[in-house]
Structure 1
Amino acid sequence: MRSTRYYFKSVVSIVFLGLIMSFGLFQDEGKTIAWSENRPLKWEDFQGPPADDSPYKALTDYRITFKGSINPNNYGKKGPNVQETVYEVDCMFNIDRSWVKEGARTEELLKHEQVHFDIAEWHARTLRKELDKLKTADPKTQKLATKLFQDISRDCRRLQEQYDSNTDHGVKPDQQEEWSGRVAKELKKLSKYAKE
C-alpha cells in the first residue's frame, strides 16, 4: 500500500523584446528522471527517506511542468507583430522525494508505482495536445494556458486517487492489470504528444 504526493508547478516563461516574465514557483527539486517509454522506474530510483508514520509501502513523487516562449523564427509571419508561443511540458520523477520501505520492494508494487508515473505522463501529453492549439502570444492566451494546466493537473490528481482506490494501492491484481492496460492505451492514443 502506498500514497502518492503530487507536485504540480506551473512554469510559464514568455520572452518578449528582451523582457522575461515568469510565473510559478521555483525551488530545488533534487534529482529527477524524465518520463521515458525506454526507461521504466527501478527500485534504485526511490532514494528518499521513507515516512515512518505512513501506512503505505512506497511513494512516487512526480511533477508536471510547462513553460512557454516566443518563437523568434516565426515573428510576424502570421501578420504584423503577431508572435507565436512554443510550449514545453515535462513529466519528471523526483528521486529524492520518492521512497520505498524496507522489505516492500516487490515487482508488483514497482509496477503499481510505474502506473502512477504513467498516469502523470498521460496528463502531460494531454497538456501538450491542448497547448499545441494555443499559438498566439498574448495575455489572454497565457491565462488560458495556465487554466488548462490547472484543470489537467486537477484531473490527474483525481485519477491518481481513483487508481489507488480501485486497486487498493496495488493489492488487487485484477484491477491493477485493468488499470495498467487502460493507461497504456491512453498513452498510445496520445503517442504523437510524447516528448521523446
Structure 2
Amino acid sequence: MFSILRFLFIFFFLFPSEVDPVKMTWSDSQKLTWEDFQGKPKLNSGYVATTNSGMSFSYSYSKSGNDIDYDYKVHSYFYPETSWYIPSKVDQHILNHEQTHFDISELHARILRKKIGNTVFSENIKSEIEKLYSETEQERVAMQHQFDKESDHSKNRERELQWEAFVQKEIIIHEPWN
C-alpha cells in the first residue's frame, strides 16, 4: 500500500498537470520586479498592486513496525498571473511592500520546515503533519493581514520600514531551515 502511495506522490509531483499555475520560487538573490506581475489590474479594488504568494507543502511517509520514515518538501511561491499592479500608481516603495509579502511567505515556509524537523511524530503522523501545516498557514495569513494593517498598505512608511527589517531579520534567524 505505501509503495502505491509513494508512486502516486512521485507521479503527481514529477509530472504536474497542465493546469498548474505559473509560479516563481522565492530566492534571496532574485527580488521581484514589476515585470513579474502579469495579472490584469483590478482598477476598482482600492489597491495599486497585489501579490499572490503562498506556501506549497507535500510529504510522504511509511511505517514499518514502530519506525516511521517520512520525507517532505516546503516551498514558497509567487504567482505572476494572479499578481498585478497599476503602472501609473506604483514606485519602488510599493514594490518593496509587495516583496515583503513574498518574504513573509518564505519566512513561514522556513518556520514550517523547522516545526516538521523538530517534531517527533507518532503513528498519527498524517494528522500531526497536516496540523503543523494548517497552523503555520494560519499564522502566515494572519501576519500578511497584520503587515497590511500596520503599514496601512504601504502608506505608513515608518511602519513599512520596521516590518521590512523585522521580516528580513526573521528570515536570517530561520536560515538553517532554508
Q: TM-score range by the shorter chain?
A: 0.7 to 0.9
Decide whether the 8 Å contact of 1:84 with 1:137 is kept in 2. no
How many residue pairs match? The answer is 170
Matching residue of 1:57: 48
Q: Match of 1:97?
A: 82
TM-score by length of 1: 0.79
Provide closer, same or farther for how the CA distance between residues 121 and 68 of structure 1 changes in structure 2, counting only shifts above 3 A.
same
Residue aligning to 1:4: none
1:82 is the counterpart of 2:67: yes
Kindly report the root-mean-square deviation, in angstroms, between the aligned alpha carbons of the 2 structures: 2.3
Q: Give the structure with the higher percent strand.
A: 1
- Structure 2 regions of 5+ residues with no counterpart? 10-16
Question: Normalized against structure 2, the TM-score is what?
Answer: 0.86
Counterpart Cα distance in 1 of 2:165 and 2:119: 31
Aligned partner of 1:130: which letter? K
1:125 to 2:131 alignment: no
User: What is the letter of the counterpart of residue 44 of structure 2?
Assistant: D
Aligned equivalents of 2:74 and 2:117: distance in 1?
A: 11
Identical residues among aligned pairs (%):
29
Secondary structure of residue in 1 paired with 2:68: coil
Query: What are the superposed Cα offsets for residues 132-160 of structure 1, whole Å, 9 maximum, x if unpaired?
Result: 1346584x111011111111111111111
Higher helix share: 2
Distance 1:31 1:166, change over 3 A: same
Instruction: After superposition, give the CA deviation of every residue in 1:61-95 in whole Å (9 maximum; x if it has no partner).
Output: 01211111248xxx86xxx5623101100100001
Partners of 1:27 and 1:160 in 2: how far apart?
Answer: 29
Where 2:72 maps in the other structure, the secondary structure is: strand
Aligned to 1:7: none
Tell me: higher relative CO, structure 1 or 2? Use CA pairs within 8 A at least 6 residues apart.
1
